[in-house]
């Protein structure tokens, strides 16, 4: 089962406390596809400008990412610049230049429209909605968003939210979107806006899955060589949707497993700038790290008051 993704294809400039990189390959759809392609085929929808070096996507093509839905338009590619603070859980955006995304209205290739697993990666919610409308019979739709859209286009965002099964966002975005400081109360409010499943990313503290009334927490894999967190969230989403599509099941147990694989994937992304680490990653490494997370979290519960 393949996955359809719509999102940004970008040139990112990133400053971290250790180093900086200018105009590196980035974008939510790029990171997502790099991760999901370890599990399944990906049909990608995005737009780039005339300045884009299409050869930079050869690694995605080799891994089964279909680029028929990647439009090339007059103008410049989307650009984003951000800076991480000493606590790398915190980042500030220096600029967001939508460029060719400003007026992008994709028409999905015919063979994209039968996808059943859909990911609306972080991009203009109108564009997310427009793509979803073109899919014939979606089975599982997940989306991401960020403060830029929560404050900039709240009505459009609510419309898209009302159509999805799952929302994958970080804890500060839960607070902003729900206008509620307690993220569990905030999550309930967001569930009433549409998605029954919420996956809250909490940086180095891991991720929380809220599925109806059930909770599952997965810690982050302890990464000592944290290099660049950019794209970790999209990589997480790629791992999650990739795993669900490969196994073609969206029940609670499988969602929990998907969160663990997603966590493993994201932990590799942050070990290098851009998609550098994801390019050389192997499925064996992903499997090994997922097993390490399993061993980090498993325990045998014994009743403290019962005799052994
Ligand atoms: P993440 O670190 O997972 O939040 O993803 C960062 C990626 O999102 C970068 O590669 C950026 O190019 C991209 N990005 C940043 N701001 C936006 C935005 N407003 N819309 C779409 N993509 C964005």
Q: Residues 247-271: what's their mean pLDDT?
A: 98
CATH number for the domain harbouring residue 247: 3.40.1190.20
Residue 303 lies inside a defined structural domain of this protein: no
Supply angle C-alpha 205, 250, 254, rounded to 5. 55
- 250 pLDDT band, cuts 50/70/90, is very high
Q: How many domains does the chain have?
A: 1
Residue 79, in any domain of the structure: yes
Name which of 206, 266, 279 is nearest 236 in CA terms. Answer: 266
> What is the H or E stretch that residue 157 is in?
helix 154-161
Residue 234 near ligand 1, beta carbon < 6 Å = yes
Crossing angle between the packed helical segments 28-36 and 232-247, to the nearest 10 degrees: 40
Convert the pLDDT of each residue in 33-81 to its tens digit: 999 999 999 999 999 999 999 999 999 999 999 999 999 999 999 999 9
Residue 243 placed within a domain = yes
Which residue has its alpha carbon closest to ligand 1 atom 13?
27
To test the pocket of ligand 1, the residue of 146, 153, 232 to mutate (highest count of ligand atoms within 8 Å of its CB) is 146
Question: Tens digit of pLDDT for each residue in 27-40?
Answer: 999 999 999 999 99
Structural domain span for residue 143? 3-297
Report how far ligand 1's centroid is from the alpha carbon of 90 (Å).
14
Nearest atom of ligand 1 to the alpha carbon of 148: 19
In a domain, 166, yes or no: yes
Residue 199 lies in a domain: yes
Residue 228 lies in a domain: yes
Tell me how far the alpha carbon of residue 188 lies from the centroid of ligand 1, in angstroms: 26
Interval between CA 265 and ligand 1 midpoint (Å): 17
Beta-strand pair 197-201/42-48: unpaired
Q: Is residue 12 part of a domain?
A: yes
Query: What is the CA(233)–ligand 1 centre distance, in A?
Result: 9
Residue 308 has pLDDT above 80, yes or no: no
Q: Read off the DSSP letter of residue 119.
A: E
Within a domain: 195: yes
């Amino acid at each position: 089962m393949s996955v359809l993704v719509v999102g940004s294809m970008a040139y990112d400039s990133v400053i971290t406390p250790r180093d900086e990189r200018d105009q590196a390959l980035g974008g939510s759809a790029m990171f997502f596809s790099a991760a999901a392609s370890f599990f399944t085929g990906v049909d990608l929808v995005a737009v780039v400008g005339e300045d884009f070096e299409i050869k930079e996507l050869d690694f995605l093509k080799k891994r089964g990412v279909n680029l028929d839905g990647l439009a090339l338009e007059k103008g410049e590619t989307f650009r984003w610049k951000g800076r991480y603070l000493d606590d790398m859980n915190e980042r500030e955006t220096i600029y967001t230049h939508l460029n060719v995304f400003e007026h992008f209205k994709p028409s999905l290739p015919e063979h994209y429209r039968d996808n059943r697993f859909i990911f609306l990666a972080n991009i203009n919610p109108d564009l997310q909605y427009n793509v979803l409308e073109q899919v014939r019979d979606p089975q599982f739709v997940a989306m991401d968003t960020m403060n830029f859209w929560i404050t900039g286009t709240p009505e459009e965002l609510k419309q898209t939210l009302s159509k999805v099964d799952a929302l994958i966002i970080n804890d500060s975005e839960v607070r902003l979107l729900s206008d509620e400081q307690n993220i569990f109360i905030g999550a309930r409010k967001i569930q009433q806006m549409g998605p029954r499943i919420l996956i809250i990313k909490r940086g180095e503290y891991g991720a929380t899955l809220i599925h109806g009334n059930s909770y599952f927490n997965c810690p982050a894999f302890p990464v000592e060589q944290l290099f660049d967190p950019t794209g970790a969230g999209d990589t997480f989403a790629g791992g999650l949707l990739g795993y669900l599509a490969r196994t073609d099941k969206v029940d609670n147990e499988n969602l929990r497993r998907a969160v663990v694989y997603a966590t493993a994937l994201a932990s590799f992304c942050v070990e290098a700038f851009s998609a550098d680490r994801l390019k050389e990653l192997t499925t064996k490494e992903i499997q090994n790290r997922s097993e390490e997370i399993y061993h980090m979290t498993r325990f045998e519960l014994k009743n403290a008051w019962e005799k052994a």
